[in-house]
Structure 1
Amino acid sequence: MQEAAYCYAMTGAMTLPQHLRAILFLGVPLIGGHLAQFAIGLTDTVMLGWYSVEALAAVTLATTLFFVLFIMGAGFGWAVMPMVAQYHAKGDEVMIRRATRMGVWLSLGFAVLVLPLLWFSGPLLQLLGQTEDLSIAAQSYLRITGLGLIPALSVMALKSYLAAMEHTRIVFWITACAAVLNALVNYALIFGNWGAPELGLRGAAVASLVTNSLSLVGVMIYINIVLPQHALFARFWRADTEMLARVFRLGWPISLTNLAEVALFAASAVMMGWLGEVTLAAHGIALQLATAAFMVHLGLSNVATVRAGNAVGRGDMAHLFRGAAAVAGLSIATSLVTVTVFLTVPDLLVSAFIDPEDERYGAILSVGISLLAMAALFQLVDGAQVVALGLLRGLQDTQVPMIMAGVAYWVIGVPASYVLGFPMGLGGPGIWLGLVMGLAVAGLLMVSRFVLKMRAADLG
């Protein structure tokens, strides 16, 4: 409750430094939680990269498909965040419980619905132009880790509830412990250490499944002990059709917006696969590094959603505008640091993922460095679009941003990636330059939408 008390005390006519302190107080644990969550996938990539290039290429392809479905299903969990933030500002505990429960319901329903796509992913990947061996290896990974989608999406909804309630430190600690556990189980099962069987790719999948399942148990225990007044899991099976419909109406545009962006990167992975295992492996490395930087922006976006939802609950638009400016400033500062790192030490970053003894080390390093230069280009625009999107979600404005995302990523980004990569012959860097173009358009549209919403509020 200390976090909530701090943030509620910091209301009214806050100065910019006060906004920054409040944002960091709430946001640093969220950013840490996202980085810890990302570390789970990063651990798989690094360890499998040291295991074999074939395993690295397979996990890049497999996790791309898994993440597409995960981030799409997460839309229903993310819908919980602005709703609970508003109800929390009003002190309405009944509505908090109703929104959270139905967010978990929708998350579970989505996970069960898409499981067959993961189980039979091999033929799907072959239809997308991947080799038979690579598709079979990716499917063996997804048949195990795919079961973890059920606890993973449930955890996402419950984390959104905790973030909206400003219990962000526990979100970090549970995710950090999960990341450590995942690394230990990976080390044992991928390489056959500590007397465990050497399972390679399947060992990483088992580790992810165990980690996601134990994370759900940890979150549920914390909620029952610290927030018993909400009784989230009492008579959990009882349907609440009215609230289910409300969460669904807010969540499905978030899901499709998430899908539009992540599918842009999934399409790029498919196109990279057409260029061969070396290029696909380099793409996986560069994408992991770019995603690590994105996690900071995503944490700031979550803070923007929570604080915007609280401001709406209090009817304080001036507070919302000043807070938005502070979040944007932190996002820009983060982007400048990331660009500097990506452009000054790319070889050091990329080489951490590859066994120096592998005969393809030099080729992967060369391609990875060129892709990382492209990743540096989209840092500012990617941060801008995700922060603006978080603010819009706090205002419960999700349908127009969904359309904007679809246009930016699929009318501009994917075609540009294909044309630059293949007809124009730029290969991997051309595909990534197309990503930059799509993200830049999305950033411009999302920021413009938020500015127009704020002007309309002032006129009102």
Structure 2
Amino acid sequence: MKISNYTKEFKYNWQLAAPVMLGMLGHTFVSFVDNIMVGQLGTAQLAAVSLGNSFMFIAMSLGIGFSTAITPLIAEADGEQNFINGKSSFKHGLFLCTVLGILLFLLVFFAKPVMYLMKQPLDVVELAIPYLDLVAVSLIPLIVFQAFKQFSDGLSMTKYPMYATILANIINVILNYAFIFGKLGMPEMGIVGAAYGTLISRVVMVAHIWYLLSNNDKSKNYVTKIKFFILDKLMLKKIIDLGMPSAMQMFFEVAIFTAAIWLSGLLGKNPQAANQIALNLSSMTFMVATGLSVAAMVRVGNQKGLKKYLELRRIAHSIFFLGIILATVFAILFLVFHTQLPKLYLDHNDVENAIDNREVMQIASKLLLVAAVFQISDSIQVLVLGALRGLQDVKVPMVLVFISYWVVGFPISWFLGKNEAFASMGVWFGLLAGLTVAAILLYIRFHFLTKKLILSNN
């Protein structure tokens, strides 16, 4: 097949994915801004935000992963032009995401004492706890927002979540500046101020996306006049059956990166702060792949609804191809600028912490070399996961993801991530191994399923 059969899809794939990328980057940008502003306070404060967010990342992975069940159901209903199924999928998805957001908030709030059992630096733990008290509440609006976002993506209306996220980011930057440093007439709160900024901006984000969707002709009948507590057990079961394996897929991946934060904490506050810098930078490039993953989910879901399986496979491969090109560009950027990028996060004029800052930047620059190598495998695994979700295939991928990260990746991080081995670099060698195995296994699964669908349709 000619390469033009794939490249001709690039423009539409990009148009669909770009708003999702910007929206996902917006979520990461909240963390990016928090890290840069908090980094000016010192390495202990940066490590505390890293530790607090490690709990948040786990909870967010479950909530965001679960919400992805909504997108393929909406995309398939949209392809079939079945409004009743579409509205039912959204309503039940919104209900479940709201319940899950409350449960995740309670889980994180009451899990704080675990920090003392994790052998993390004590000064870091004592800074992290008040930060986590507030930022945990923001899980509720965040997961509710995800329900609206995944619904909007499923209708191929990917710009609205982007608009809401951009507004939230502007508010977050202003509030962070005011609350962290005591500007604009506000009290100086340090890292607790960053938590206030995150919470308020996420509430605004939910309100804004509902306003946008309720004023659009295509979506307003879906998001208004919702009988929230009149529920269909079969639809609840369908979303839970799709959502729970998707949540576990994302949990297994995020959990290994969270384990990297904890393993880095065992090495000290400076390795932990360096890990946070490298993780934040690599997560920003990952959000680009995640945007394309949503495009894969939507377009594969549409073609599944139309039963056009050859087209489904061609379109999916065109998205994989575009993703690999972009990942290669990011890999080159990380390699070229691996020493410069960590400098964004720390105060060069801080004489008191100069030695710590220098060590953090040295470690982070080495970790970015490993991050450069795994850009391609990280991109492939998330793109193929998106395509498999579009096929509503979630249970087998969940098992494959677990094997990749926890049977292969984590043991390598554990054994190589000790001071007497490769320290922080060893932790990231495990991440590289897990992502690479996941990319290979998930693609094999996609290849098998699509071939089977094509043969069964002939």
**Mapped contact 2:70–2:150 kept (Cα < 8 A):** yes
Counterpart of 2:77? 87
Deviation per CA, 1:77-96, whole angstroms, max 9, x where unpaired?
Answer: 11000010000001111111
Partner secondary structure for residue 147 of structure 1: coil
Runs of 4+ residues over 4 Å off in structure 1: none
Pairwise mapping of residues 372-411 of structure 1 onto structure 2 (< 5 A)?
372-411=368-407
Deviations 1:176-211 (CA, angstroms, capped at 9, x unpaired): 111111011001100011111100111000000001
Does structure 2 retain, via aligned residues, the 8 Å contact 1:73–1:153? yes
Aligned residue number for residue 202 of structure 1? 192
Q: Do structure 1's residue 238 and structure 2's residue 230 form an aligned pair?
A: yes
Shift in Å, 1:232 = 4.3
In 2: Cα distance, 1:278 partner to 1:48 partner: 15
Quote the Cα distance in structure 2 between the aligned partners of 1:306 and 1:436.
Answer: 28
Q: How many aligned residue pairs are there?
A: 447
1:431 to partner: Cα distance: 0.6
| Residue 260 in structure 1 maps to residue 252 in structure 2 | yes
SS of 2:40's partner is: helix
In structure 2, what is the equivalent of residue 113 of structure 1?
A: 103
What is the aligned partner in structure 2 of residue 450 from structure 1?
A: 446
Q: Is 1:275 matched with 2:296?
A: no
The one-letter amino acid of 1:296's match is V
C-alpha contact (below 8 Å) 2:44/2:123 kept by paired residues: no
CA RMSD, Structure 1 to Structure 2 (Å) = 1.3
1:33 aligns with 2:26: no
Change (3 A) 1:153 1:181: same
Instruction: For residues 98-154 of structure 1, give each alpha carbon's deviation from its aligned partner in whole angstroms, at most 9, with x where no partner exists.
Output: 111111111121222232332234311122222333223212111111111111001
8 Å Cα contact 2:160/2:213 also seen in 1: no
Could you tell me whether the CA contact under 8 Å between 1:59 and 1:141 is conserved in 2?
Answer: yes
Cα 1:64–1:94 change in 2 (3 A) is same
Please list every run of 5 or more consecutive structure 1 residues that lacks an aligned counterpart in the other structure: 1-13
Q: 1:60-88 CA deviation, whole Å, 9 max, x = no partner? A: 11111101101111222110000100000
Q: Which residue of 1 aligns with 2:455?
A: 459
Structure 2 counterpart of 1:48, one-letter code: V
Q: How does 1:22-101 map to 2 (within 5 A)?
A: 22-101=12-91
Q: Give deviations 1:352-400, integer Å, cap 9, x for gaps.
A: 0011123222111110111111111111110010000000000000000
Question: Equivalent of 2:331, from 304, 329, 339?
Answer: 339
Could you tell me the percent identity over the aligned residues? 31
What is the CA distance between 1:231 and its match in structure 2? 4.3
The answer for the alignment partner of 2:425 in structure 1 is 429
State yes or no: 1:364 paired with 2:354.
Answer: no
Residue matched to 2:285: 293
Map of 2:122 onto structure 1: 132
The offset of 1:52, in angstroms, is 1.9
Asked if 2 retains the 8 angstrom alpha-carbon contact of 1:100 and 1:232, the reply is no
Q: Please tell me the residue identity of whatever aligns with 1:443.
A: A
Inter-partner Cα distance in structure 2 for 1:280 and 1:229: 48
CA distance in 2, matches of 1:273, 1:232: 47
| One-letter identity of the residue aligned with 2:286 | F
Structure-2 residue corresponding to 1:3: none
1:229 to 1:152, Cα distance in 2 relative to 1, 3 A: same
The answer to whether the 8 A contact 1:77-1:158 is kept is no
Checking the alignment, whether the CA contact within 8 Å between 2:43 and 2:357 is kept in structure 1 is no
State how far apart, in whole Å, the 2-side matches of 1:118 and 1:452 are: 39
Contact 1:144 1:206 (8 Å CA) reproduced: yes
- 1:7 aligns with none
Are the aligned partners of 1:122 and 1:138 in contact in 2 as well (CA < 8 Å)?
no
Which of the numbers 248, 257, 270 marks the counterpart of 2:240? 248
Aligned equivalent of 1:441 = 437
Between the aligned partners of 1:53 and 1:306, the Cα distance in structure 2 is: 41
Quick one: which amino acid aligns to residue 373 of structure 2?
A: L
Matched AA of 2:10: L
1:122 aligns to 2:112 (yes or no): yes
**Match of residue 169, structure 1, among 159, 174, 179:** 159
Q: Give distance in 2, aligned partners of 1:409 and 1:424.
A: 23
| CA deviation after TM superposition for structure 1 residue 432, in Å | 0.4
In the TM superposition, residue 16 of structure 1 has moved relative to its aligned partner by: 3.0
Question: 1:77 touches 1:107 (CA, 8 Å); kept in 2?
Answer: yes
Residues 338 and 376, structure 1, Cα contact 8 Å, conserved in 2: yes
Deviations 1:219-271 (A, max 9, x none): 11112211222244522232222211110000000011111000001111100
Q: 1:350, CA displacement in angstroms?
A: 0.5
Contact 2:104–2:139 (CA under 8 A) maintained in structure 1: no
- Give the Cα–Cα distance (whole angstroms) in 2 for the partners of residues 257 and 231 of structure 1: 28
Letter in 1 for 2:448: L
Query: Which among 290, 314, 323 is matched to residue 322 of structure 1?
Result: 314
Asked if 1 retains the 8 angstrom alpha-carbon contact of 2:101 and 2:144, the reply is: no
Amino acid at match of 2:154: A
Other-structure match for 2:412: 416
Matches of 1:371 and 1:331, distance apart in 2: 22
Deviations 1:313-343 (A, max 9, x none): 0011111111111111111111111111111
Return closer, same or farther for 1:149/1:24 CA change in 2, 3 Å cut-off. same
